[in-house]
């Protein structure tokens, strides 16, 4: 199915919050590199997927009612074997059921523990006057602490994408500050362009966040993703 067909089906079901697994599948279809992520509905599935993907892995709660998974205690990192996965799964479910007793829980996502890189964010929100607006900045918790971000109105040109990256104060980090691995700037520009294209072609997307994206010397990889759709208008 095309991206538009997938989104149309979700909207027919009156779904607005996509799961992380669904959001990453949309991004993958748009040509955006995302870390392989699979949904496990049971502990047995989590163990099977972990073995298939290869350790170490990350488990994250999958629920349309829980947006900030880490804050809720729904994330377990760097799980090195089946025993740790089993314990992590049980712990996540126990914590979430206590802190969010009414949340709909679909299971957990299982993904490979990625090699660290420079963390950046690409996001989109809709402005009442300008429409879709794209954002770029340093990612992870830094986006909330430093608010070092740049904005452009969609559609974003190649020049816009280049300027968005270079005008943030943290740009020296992307160049390889004090011997750190530099980021592939051309790849980040291409990612911004692809997100712009995805948003432009699919106006039913209300909000979108790729955070963090790990930027490497030879590419980039979206580690977490969030997509929220517009509320479907009632017919009749």
Q: Is residue 200 part of a domain?
A: yes
Do 16 and 63 belong together in one domain?
Answer: no
Domain boundary among 95, 112, 129: 112
Do 16 and 126 belong together in one domain?
Answer: yes
Q: Is residue 148 part of a domain?
A: yes
Do 80 and 119 belong together in one domain?
Answer: no
Report the pLDDT value the prediction gives residue 236, as an integer from 0 to 100: 44
Report the pLDDT value the prediction gives residue 142, as an integer from 0 to 100: 64
Do 52 and 145 belong together in one domain?
Answer: no
- Give me the mean pLDDT over the 131-146 stretch: 82
Q: Is residue 213 part of a domain?
A: yes
Report the pLDDT value the prediction gives residue 89, as an integer from 0 to 100: 98
Do 93 and 68 belong together in one domain?
Answer: yes
Do 183 and 89 belong together in one domain?
Answer: no
- Give me the mean pLDDT over the 13-31 stretch: 93
Domain boundary among 112, 141, 172: 112
Q: Which domain holds residue 90?
A: 37-112
Q: Is residue 10 part of a domain?
A: yes
Q: In this structure, how many other beta carbons lie within 10 angstroms of the beta carbon of residue 210?
A: 26
Q: Is residue 236 part of a domain?
A: no
Q: What CATH number is attached to the domain comprising 131?
A: 3.30.470.20
Do 19 and 127 belong together in one domain?
Answer: yes
More confident: 91 or 5: 91
Report the pLDDT value the prediction gives residue 1, as an integer from 0 to 100: 86
What integer best gives the mean pLDDT of the chain?
93
Q: Is residue 234 part of a domain?
A: no
Do 139 and 216 belong together in one domain?
Answer: yes
> Could you write out the DSSP letters of every residue in the chain?
--HHHHHHHHHHTT--B--HHHHHHHHHHTT--B--EEEESSHHHHHHHHHHH-SSEEEEEE-TT-S-TTTTT-EEEEE-SHHHHHHHHHHHHHHHHHH-TT----EEEEEE-PPP-EEEEEEEEEETTTEEEEEEEE-TTHHHHH--EEEEESSPPHHHHHHHHHTSTTHHHHT-GGGPPPP-HHHHHHHHHHHHHHHHH-TTEEEEEEEEEEEETTEEEE--EEEEEPPPPPP-
Q: Is residue 77 part of a domain?
A: yes
Reply yes or no on whether the pLDDT at 131 is more than 50.
Answer: yes
Do 80 and 163 belong together in one domain?
Answer: no
Report the pLDDT value the prediction gives residue 139, as an integer from 0 to 100: 84
Do 44 and 104 belong together in one domain?
Answer: yes
Domain boundary among 73, 95, 112: 112
- pTM score, two decimals? 0.91
Q: What is the pLDDT of residues 32-90, one digit of tens each?
A: 999 999 999 999 999 999 999 999 999 999 998 898 898 899 999 999 999 999 999 99
Do 60 and 148 belong together in one domain?
Answer: no
Q: What is the pLDDT of residues 201-224, one digit of tens each?
A: 999 999 999 999 999 999 999 999
Q: Is residue 235 part of a domain?
A: no
Q: What CATH number is attached to the domain comprising 76?
A: 3.30.1490.20
How many structural domains compose the chain? 2
Do 103 and 25 belong together in one domain?
Answer: no
């Amino acid at each position: 199915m095309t991206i538009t067909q997938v989104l149309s089906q979700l909207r027919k079901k009156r779904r607005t919050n996509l799961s992380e697994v669904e959001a990453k599948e949309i991004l993958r279809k748009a040509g955006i590199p995302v870390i392989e992520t699979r949904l496990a509905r049971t502990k047995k599935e989590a163990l099977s997927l972990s073995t298939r993907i290869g350790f170490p892995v990350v488990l994250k709660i999958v629920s349309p009612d829980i947006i900030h998974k880490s804050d809720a205690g729904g994330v377990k990192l760097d799980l090195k074997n089946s025993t740790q996965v089993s314990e992590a799964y049980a712990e996540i479910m126990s914590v979430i059921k206590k802190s969010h007793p009414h949340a709909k829980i679909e299971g957990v996502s299982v993904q490979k523990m990625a090699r660290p890189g420079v963390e950046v964010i690409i996001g989109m929100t809709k402005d009442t006057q300008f429409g879709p607006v794209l954002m770029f900045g340093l990612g992870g918790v830094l986006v909330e602490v430093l608010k070092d971000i740049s904005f452009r109105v969609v559609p974003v040109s190649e020049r816009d994408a280049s300027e968005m990256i270079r005008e943030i104060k943290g740009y020296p980090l992307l160049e390889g500050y004090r011997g750190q691995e530099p980021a592939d700037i051309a790849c980040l520009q291409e990612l911004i362009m692809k997100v712009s294209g995805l948003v432009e072609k699919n106006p039913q997307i209300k909000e979108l966040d790729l955070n963090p994206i790990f930027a490497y010397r030879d590419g980039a990889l979206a580690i977490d993703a969030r997509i929220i759709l517009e509320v479907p208008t009632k017919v009749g």
